[in-house]
Amino acid sequence: MGKLDNQPQRFFQDEDTGYPQGDAIKQQIDVRNRRGLWWRIFFMLALLMAIASLVALLATIVNDAFGYVVVINREDPERLALDVVAMQLLSASNTLTSEDDNELADGVAANPNGIGFFGNAYYQQNRDRLKLVAIDGDLPNEETALSGAYPLVRPLFLYTTADILSNNQAANVFMNYLLTNVNAEIEQVGYLPTSQEDLTFSQRNWIRANANLGLQPGQWAAINPSGILGNFTIAGSSTVYPLTDHMLAAYQAAGYEGVYNNQSVGTTAGIAAFCDGKADIAAASRPIQSGEFEVCRKNGRFPQEFRVGTDALAVVVNAQNDFVTNLTQEELQQVFTIAQTWADVNPAWPDEPIYRFIPGADSGTLDFFTDAVYDARLSDLSKEELARLLATNISVGRGRALEREQRFFENALLFESPDLWNEVCAQPPAARPTGCTAPVRSRDNIYDLLMTEVVKPDVVKTYTLLNSVLNRRAIQAEAAESYPNGDLEFRAWVNRDFVTNAQSSTPELAGVRTAILGSLFVIAVTIIFSFPVGVGAAIYLEEYAADNRLNRLLQTNINNLAGVPSIIYGMLGLAIFVRALESFTSGAAFGEVTDPTTANGRTILSAGLTLGLLILPLLIINAQEALRAVPNSLRQAGLALGATKWQTTWHHVLPVALPGILTGTILAVSRAIGETAPLVVVGASTFIALDPSGPFSKFTTLPIQIYQWTSRPQAEFRNIAAAAILVLLVMLLALNATAVFLRNRYSVRM
């Protein structure tokens, strides 16, 4: 070996041995250490990247599952609930309704047990015949109205647009005249003045439309109406009418020379006319509603609100009535609905029937009264009330279709005529609508229908959590700017309703109950099938199988199966369970077809068996490991005592291996719960709102639901996909926690 021979010689040459010396050693070691450090940092960064991915993944989900949303309801749910209250009022005993307030005043004046409510102006006209009732100790007057102590106070509004003001001089100057003088004049009409603050705000709106005058907010300039020409039209509330009428007369007296047209058609009709361009100013005894606002906007009119006064409703009794001077809000609620006699309200009062005089159903006054006195929520209503609401708010055709799907009541029909129904249901089963046999709708179902068919909440804009937290101000400003009639609310997309609601095509109302139940059903089938088979196979391979070619093939085969992509199992399931064994998996072979539209094998049973085959290799391998960990001495002891192989396995080996087997099974099952692709191939339903009822039902599962929602382009579907992912992850977490718990508990015992 030439090299070795040479080296000692060089070593003895003292200088330049070829090995570094002194500082050079230190330098080289430094270089090597530095290189070591850099690589170490690289290795750590790789690990950090993996952790960062997990954090990013979870953050993305949470980011989309919470955040601000802007919701626009087609119908206000509170308004609907109040409609029910209004119906109760109208149908209470001894109740007389009239659109004419004078008639109501006469009625109360003529009946010693009468009680009624109407605009304060009419009470003022009939002071001698009527007695005003205090509410919670407060009588209506300017002071209690402004402080808000008296509850039955409503604002009076005029609506117009900046465009109209700048183009129609007559209307513009009238608004100026009105805003200048209304507080001084209003008490003559019987109404209460509005606060200075509100008036200033209205004036500011006027100033903005008249920018050419160069007024600063807070300043005010009265314009002299004399000599003003041109025509304009006011339409709207009968309550505001006396006020506008009075002001118009004064306007004319001050010198206006044009022609005005003042119509008392009711608030709703007035706003509609205004939005259609048939009126220049709308008079309203309530704020404009979001739907109305939207219509106006579509027609190019952006309504501006002018608060011009305050109306207090007067609750009055007959002048001879000496026992009622004050009513609490609760008593007031009873007096106009459930109470039959005065004694029902307060035992100290006479046992005489109450005679009620209230405005009719078309009046804004009734709506206002229910709104102010009653506290109604849609979710508190009974099934009957919800059904009645639904009936009054959807078309008969739609109602019939819903009723044919599923009836509303056992013994009554809501939309269909009984004759037609009997005729339809007499048809052979195939042609018969499902409503003939299906169970009646539950209260919750009708509530959901009401939401989807009538309220139709529409999330028009969503914000992510991060955005919601960081840019709250900007979001509030943007929402107010772009969606003036929408409600900005912070929404947790994953909430109680989301978990309990059935699937829906509207993301705002969709839930995952069907999907969760589907997942549980499918997993139940999977476990029932794969647990015994998997453990059996593991026992065979570990305890019984001799080391021969067949058994080695079995083992190799199982290992290979564990590496087959899950989607291939889906294709196997499709060809075998869904297609070849259709009569078995659809339940037809047992005469058990749950749903005639699905008798094609795409059922929970097929899905469960497919997933069973999928996790079988995993389960076998895990169980084998658990069995292998059992000490051999245990087996030998059993066998030595004369136990048979099976007795040894069953009584000694299996109990010891059980925690390991269970842990492995749970891990395999959590894999199955998260599987999506094979179930899509097997034929998960894209949309089912009915809960699965057995192994032969159509199915959808949580991951399938997530997949479908993720594939939709709309942002709200992404939000509910994130929410569904959270539900799925919680399910998996619970399962894995169970695995850890089992492992800990049983390993202690060993």
Partner 1 sequence: MAIHTQASTFAQTEITAISLQKKPRVGEILIQGFLFFCGILSIFTTVGIVYILVTESFTLFNSQQWATTNKRIAVEVDPTMTEIEVGTSGAALFVGDVIRLTNEVMIITAMNDNIIVVERGAQGTTPAAYAAGLQIARAKDVNVIDTLTSTNWMPQLGQFGIWPLLYGTIATSIIAMFVALPVGLATAIYLSEYASEKVRSTLKPILEILAGIPTVVYGFFALVFMTPLLRSVFGVENVQIFNVMSAGIVVGILIVPLMSSMSEDALHAVPRALREAAFGLGATKLEVSLKVVTPAALSGIAAAFVVSISRAIGETMVVAIAAGSGPKNFTLGKDSLFGYVLNPFLSAETMTGHIVRISGGDLSYDSIDYNSLFAIGLMLFLMTLILNIVARYFVNKYREVYE
Residue 356 pairs in a beta bridge with 95, 115
Contacts of 397 (CB under 8 A, 6+ apart): none
Does an H or E element contain 445, and which? helix 443-450
Among 707, 717, 738, 743, binds partner 1 (CB under 8 A): 707
Does residue number 728 form part of the binding site for partner 1 (CB under 8 A)? yes
CB–CB of 728/702 below 8 Å?
A: yes
**How far apart are CB 50 and partner 1 at their closest, in Å?**
5
Q: Which stretch binds partner 1 (CB under 8 A): 224-232, 299-307, 556-564, 590-598?
A: 556-564
Among 32, 278, 398, 552, binds partner 1 (CB under 8 A): 32
Does residue number 468 form part of the binding site for partner 1 (CB under 8 A)? no
Calculate the CA dihedral of residues 647, 652, 654, 655 and round it to 10 degrees: 130
Angle at 735 between CA 731 and CA 739, to 5 degrees: 165
Angle at 212 between CA 211 and CA 215, to 5 degrees: 60
Among 545, 581, 639, 742, binds partner 1 (CB under 8 A): 545
In the bound state with partner 1, the residue whose beta carbon lies nearer, of 457 and 570, is 570
In the bound state with partner 1, the residue whose beta carbon lies nearer, of 269 and 545, is 545
Among 84, 332, 366, 616, binds partner 1 (CB under 8 A): 616
**How far apart are CB 25 and partner 1 at their closest, in Å?**
11
Among 228, 572, 609, 630, binds partner 1 (CB under 8 A): 572
**How far apart are CB 475 and partner 1 at their closest, in Å?**
19
**How far apart are CB 626 and partner 1 at their closest, in Å?**
16
Collapsed DSSP state (helix, strand, coil) of residue 312: strand
Q: Which stretch binds partner 1 (CB under 8 A): 11-19, 143-151, 379-387, 699-707?
A: 699-707
Contacts of 631 (CB under 8 A, 6+ apart): none
In the bound state with partner 1, the residue whose beta carbon lies nearer, of 117 and 569, is 569
Does residue number 729 form part of the binding site for partner 1 (CB under 8 A)? yes
Q: Which stretch binds partner 1 (CB under 8 A): 115-123, 328-336, 503-511, 726-734?
A: 726-734
Q: Which stretch binds partner 1 (CB under 8 A): 103-111, 192-200, 468-476, 549-557?
A: 549-557
Alpha-carbon distance of 216 to 81, in angstroms, equals 44
CB–CB of 306/157 below 8 Å?
A: yes
Among 541, 607, 611, 668, binds partner 1 (CB under 8 A): 541
In the bound state with partner 1, the residue whose beta carbon lies nearer, of 147 and 644, is 644
Binding positions for partner 1, 659-688, rule CB under 8 A: 670, 673-677, 680-681, 683, 686
Does residue number 718 form part of the binding site for partner 1 (CB under 8 A)? yes
Among 185, 710, 717, 742, binds partner 1 (CB under 8 A): 710
In the bound state with partner 1, the residue whose beta carbon lies nearer, of 504 and 551, is 551
Alpha-carbon distance of 193 to 184, in angstroms, equals 8
Alpha-carbon distance of 162 to 210, in angstroms, equals 8
Binding positions for partner 1, 62-121, rule CB under 8 A: 64
DSSP 8-state symbol, 705: H
In the bound state with partner 1, the residue whose beta carbon lies nearer, of 414 and 465, is 465
Q: Pick from 231, 245, 344: which is nearest to 280 by CA?
A: 231
In the bound state with partner 1, the residue whose beta carbon lies nearer, of 132 and 561, is 561
Among 43, 302, 490, 590, binds partner 1 (CB under 8 A): 43
In the bound state with partner 1, the residue whose beta carbon lies nearer, of 50 and 748, is 50
Q: Which stretch binds partner 1 (CB under 8 A): 50-58, 155-163, 324-332, 385-393?
A: 50-58
CB–CB of 682/573 below 8 Å?
A: yes
Q: How many CA atoms lie within 13 A of 543 on its CB side?
A: 27
Does residue number 33 form part of the binding site for partner 1 (CB under 8 A)? yes
Does residue number 171 form part of the binding site for partner 1 (CB under 8 A)? no
Does residue number 745 form part of the binding site for partner 1 (CB under 8 A)? no
Among 221, 420, 575, 641, binds partner 1 (CB under 8 A): 575
**How far apart are CB 731 and partner 1 at their closest, in Å?**
10
In the bound state with partner 1, the residue whose beta carbon lies nearer, of 132 and 581, is 581
In the bound state with partner 1, the residue whose beta carbon lies nearer, of 92 and 571, is 571
**How far apart are CB 495 and partner 1 at their closest, in Å?**
19
Does residue number 20 form part of the binding site for partner 1 (CB under 8 A)? no
Looking only at the bridges linking them, the beta strands covering 130-132 and 304-318 are: antiparallel
In the bound state with partner 1, the residue whose beta carbon lies nearer, of 139 and 567, is 567
Among 96, 343, 554, 658, binds partner 1 (CB under 8 A): 554
Alpha-carbon distance of 5 to 748, in angstroms, equals 65
Number of residues in contact with partner 1 under rule CB under 8 A: 86
Q: Which stretch binds partner 1 (CB under 8 A): 78-86, 330-338, 590-598, 615-623?
A: 615-623
Q: What is the largest CA-CA distance in the chain?
A: 138
Looking only at the bridges linking them, the beta strands covering 232-236 and 457-462 are: unpaired
Q: Residue 437 class from Cβ within 10 Å (0-12 exposed, 13-18 middle, 19+ buried)?
A: exposed
Does residue number 512 form part of the binding site for partner 1 (CB under 8 A)? no
In the bound state with partner 1, the residue whose beta carbon lies nearer, of 455 and 706, is 706
Among 563, 591, 596, 642, binds partner 1 (CB under 8 A): 563
Q: What is the residue whose two structure tokens read 């034929």? A: 683
Alpha-carbon distance of 206 to 617, in angstroms, equals 78
In the bound state with partner 1, the residue whose beta carbon lies nearer, of 313 and 702, is 702
Helix axes 169-189 and 241-253, enclosed angle (nearest 10): 120
Tokens of 142: 């300017």
Contacts of 178 (CB under 8 A, 6+ apart): 158, 247, 251, 308
Among 263, 310, 566, 622, binds partner 1 (CB under 8 A): 566
**How far apart are CB 61 and partner 1 at their closest, in Å?**
7
In the bound state with partner 1, the residue whose beta carbon lies nearer, of 47 and 348, is 47
Residue 98 pairs in a beta bridge with 359
Does residue number 720 form part of the binding site for partner 1 (CB under 8 A)? no
**How far apart are CB 429 and partner 1 at their closest, in Å?**
25
Alpha-carbon distance of 400 to 404, in angstroms, equals 6
Computed on alpha carbons and rounded to an integer, the radius of gyration of the chain in Å comes to: 39
CB–CB of 128/121 below 8 Å?
A: no
3-state secondary structure 339-360: CCEHHHHCCCCCCCECEEEEEC
Q: Residue 1 class from Cβ within 10 Å (0-12 exposed, 13-18 middle, 19+ buried)?
A: exposed
Collapsed DSSP state (helix, strand, coil) of residue 117: strand
Does residue number 568 form part of the binding site for partner 1 (CB under 8 A)? yes
Does residue number 540 form part of the binding site for partner 1 (CB under 8 A)? yes
Q: Residue 603 class from Cβ within 10 Å (0-12 exposed, 13-18 middle, 19+ buried)?
A: buried
Tokens of 37: 């450090």
In the bound state with partner 1, the residue whose beta carbon lies nearer, of 85 and 684, is 684
In the bound state with partner 1, the residue whose beta carbon lies nearer, of 39 and 490, is 39
Residue 652 pairs in a beta bridge with none
Angle at 669 between CA 665 and CA 674, to 5 degrees: 155
**How far apart are CB 504 and partner 1 at their closest, in Å?**
20
**How far apart are CB 697 and partner 1 at their closest, in Å?**
19
Q: E strands, 393-505, where?
A: 457-462, 487-492
Among 6, 11, 26, 54, binds partner 1 (CB under 8 A): 54
Binding positions for partner 1, 618-657, rule CB under 8 A: 620, 644-646
Does residue number 12 form part of the binding site for partner 1 (CB under 8 A)? no
